[in-house]
Structure 1
């Protein structure tokens, strides 16, 4: 493994900015100092560039196995690395659903051969696989995923007894998708009665409503408090839900944490008119007030991490009428630059981006030696040029699906270099290494 010396970077780490050199050897950060005079196989002049810890995305859907016409681990991990995301945690609603330890291990084997980014995979819960869930290795698996809202296949967990048992017995973090299915079905029936099958996508946030989200999230919080469960609620989409969470307890001591996603921080219901099904997600993109309320909760510590919920579909699938078009969209290549755009707009600090997209993810999931720029930690790093604009266009989109809801957007910042576990993987707009990422481990 080659050594790398980064010179004169502006380091953004642990709520500080400072100019320093950084030496990487054997995949680890060996030294951080004002000046390092050492021999290295690769030299990166980072003067004028900002060095952030590589982003850790705690919620992606890379579609392998079973849905590889949309995406696969190889294609989407490359797009992630090009976007400054060095590690990901992937969800179990692939085909077949990841509901057994063997199916979970199969995904790790695929990633070991094909992932450019570091990786972990969630074990899936259903109404009838508690014994399998309880066999999950807490040191080598990021968490248990519970869909408390509709999902692919047999993954809706709506049996109250099953939920009680999961929350009482889970040996590790439970991550939940919270939308109340009965409320959604009632709303859908209402609009079908009014409009038949010709429902416009602008009604998506009325069908998958604030009420549906809050009912489910508040139920998850109540269960977690009852059983002292380590709960992490994914993709908060309403301002109302943000008040379920605490910003007075230190993160390391929190038993209940929450995530915001880039699309809920960027888009609002006003964008359905121009973006249509391209911004159809579950939970839905909602009002401007919800978007602004989520950002406020990110900034004040009620919401702990920022992720993507990267969930690609083909453009043909998205072009179908609202009722047939699947929910989800690709985001990993553009998530960090989108957040840097909010920095340029004065809405968030660079230190907060590093905190919410790297530090806090590592703390929430107890990831071993990642998420911070520290000596002895894995060298997962991204160098960004804050003053190199570029426009998202078809020919520079790296997702297998070939489209992005950001197409046509000009970002003011560019990802200059991405280093994954000590390997320079992306540099100056090109992949320079296909060295596989590493399986993440957890200190639990």
Structure 2
């Protein structure tokens, strides 16, 4: 798709600049002021809207294969496009889990047919697949995912010898879910002693408290420092953990950090309204923890914004505490959720563009994406400012059929999303024929 996008406010690492963008053969061919349309060239009026690089979500669960009753790559990639996400990196805790390259290639093949945005997949770690990890092609995987704590699925790496060896032999970035399973079991037993089978949702951040997170994340940081492994810690939630990360720009960091939309917008007071629907691992915690995450984002201790999109059916969420599934559908409102931090004065537009796109591309060595630059793929999102607030749409695109943002009013909305120069989301409608590409890694 070739076109000239006129009169938009380009959001880049240097700030916001009024400019035009010419797209040719899926890439950004020219950026400049008052560009003239060529003969027969299609012109798209930006109308002064903000133009962001497409967000790259480094943590989603699209549930395919094996769990497609609640989500699949087709449905969730469309939700991603609506949320301004033009590329995703998907997790391995599906059925069967993605523990070898054959399983990973099967998922790539599904995405090639069904995903309307760009894609990559993590290779999972277990106590038994060290050889597969060591032999993995770093150019075909997003990274190595380690569950250093029990969560959804059965992929816990709890053998300390194996864990260290993974850090020693991993051919590329290691991404970790950090929670201490022994502490969780101990806290859960205390809650059961108090409440029996009727544990309230508000106990979740107590059962999975700061110590649960810090014990595990500090261990991951220690292993990365000892082995030299490239470490990226996912979905941080506590003030205490922030001391583990250096402030400032990426530069040569070999330990980086991520925070997710729900931990940045919700806090423990929201369990009253949302109940088990707010149950996620790690847990949404206190307002003080949320404010610490905000500060860490501004300081550069947290490098990446993501969603940890993890859809479950309402029937799977609306259960007693032990049975209630952990995770929420979030990708459909990814960029509007991040931009709430701008509306609240926490971040600038440029910082959101960096943490949602550019820094992700840099950390994962993704080729020619993450920035609005000449020669790069035209992954672009036009965003409208809506100061009065835009409610969540009634028709939920995620297959699970619900959103935790049903009562939220966002102060920015995604007007249109382009993937490799193709319009995939425009004014509340999906263009069904668009297909994304496999992300390429310079490793």
TM-score range, shorter chain: over 0.9
Rounded to whole Å, the distance in 1 between the matches of 2:44 and 2:276 is: 42
Write out aligned runs for 1:151-170 (5 A).
Answer: 151-170=151-170
Structure 2, gaps ≥5 residues long: none
> Which residue in the other structure is 2:133 paired with?
133
User: Is 1:291 matched with 2:262?
Assistant: no
Structure 1, gaps ≥5 residues long: none
> Which residue in the other structure is 1:398 paired with?
397
TM-score, length-scaled by structure 1: 0.97
Write out aligned runs for 1:5-404 (5 A).
Answer: 5-39=4-38, 42-248=42-248, 250-387=249-386, 389-393=389-393, 395-404=394-403
Shift of 1:98: 0.4
Rounded to whole Å, the distance in 1 between the matches of 2:267 and 2:41 is: 47
Deviation per residue, 1:230-252 (Å, 9 max, x gap): 0000000101101100125x414
Q: Are residues 3 and 433 of structure 1, via their aligned partners in 2, closer, same or farther at CA, if it must alter by over 3 Å?
A: farther
Q: 3-state SS of the aligned residue for 1:413?
A: strand
User: Is 1:418 matched with 2:404?
Assistant: no
Rounded to whole Å, the distance in 1 between the matches of 2:176 and 2:214 is: 13
Q: Are residues 280 and 41 of structure 1, via their aligned partners in 2, closer, same or farther at CA, if it must alter by over 3 Å?
A: farther
Shift of 1:152: 4.4
Shift of 1:62: 0.2
Q: 3-state SS of the aligned residue for 1:334?
A: helix
Moved more, 76-85 or 144-153: 144-153
Rounded to whole Å, the distance in 1 between the matches of 2:439 and 2:135 is: 18
Shift of 1:408: 1.8
2:386/2:410 contact within 8 Å kept? no
Deviation per residue, 1:385-440 (Å, 9 max, x gap): 113742114x3321111100000212122111100011111111112352210000
Rounded to whole Å, the distance in 1 between the matches of 2:284 and 2:41 is: 46
Rounded to whole Å, the distance in 2 between the matches of 1:109 and 1:229 is: 29
Rounded to whole Å, the distance in 2 between the matches of 1:285 and 1:412 is: 22
Q: 3-state SS of the aligned residue for 2:354?
A: helix
Q: 3-state SS of the aligned residue for 1:387?
A: strand
Deviation per residue, 1:359-410 (Å, 9 max, x gap): 11111111100000000000000001113742114x3321111100000212
Shift of 1:214: 0.1
Q: 3-state SS of the aligned residue for 1:411?
A: strand
Shift of 1:27: 0.8
Rounded to whole Å, the distance in 2 between the matches of 1:247 and 1:296 is: 10
TM-score, length-scaled by structure 2: 0.97
Deviation per residue, 1:1-45 (Å, 9 max, x gap): x20210011111113211111011111100001122133653210
Rounded to whole Å, the distance in 1 between the matches of 2:392 and 2:152 is: 30
Count of residue correspondences: 441
Rounded to whole Å, the distance in 2 between the matches of 1:206 and 1:151 is: 16
Deviation per residue, 1:59-81 (Å, 9 max, x gap): 00000000001100000000100
Deviation per residue, 1:130-165 (Å, 9 max, x gap): 111112111121100000011344410010110110
